[in-house]
Amino acid sequence: MKLALATDHAGFEALAELKKYLESTGYECVDFGPISFTPDDDYPEFMFAAAKAVASGECRMGIILGGSGTGEAMAANRIKGARCALYYGPSKPVEPVDSEGNQSDDPYEILKLSRQHNNANVLSLGARFLNFDEIKQAVDIWLHTDFSGIERHERRIKQLDD
């Protein structure tokens, strides 16, 4: 699977490490930048490029990092056809229910829901909120969770993409 990658300065080192990890597990990675650490970089250009690669089909999914991940997710979501989810770290739902309405206290349920219900094709990670092991775990869970294909979710995604 071909993945689009991008970051801002806050996630620069983590993305380099993540790219090595992903390639070692068989993924093809396209790095949309930046190519060097620049503390005052303008991250939107990198996020736009990664999101466009996903929306066009050049890459199947994208993973982007930023200090909080918020601005990066906002940038990616400006690209038609990109559906970017934001993840800060493990958390438990107030009412422990999984995507099918069953009892669950899985702290990674939100990652799964972003794929199962929203068919998120870009994941934005808050690099200042996650250590590298947490980044790997989040990415692994997200990449290995499939979209449910349930009609109501298909209908809603079509509304987002249109």
Residue tagged active-site, from 9, 13, 45, 117: 117
Backbone angles phi, psi at 91, to 5 degrees: -155, 155
Active site residue 17: no
Q: Which listed residue (72, 100, 109, 134) is catalytic?
A: 72
Tokens of 43: 């991250």
List Cα–Cα distances, 3 to 58, 104, 121, 135, 154, in angstroms: 9, 30, 10, 15, 23
117 classed as catalytic: yes
Task: Give, in degrees to the nearest 5, the angle at Cα 127 between 124 and 130.
Answer: 105
Which residues are catalytically annotated?
Answer: 72, 117
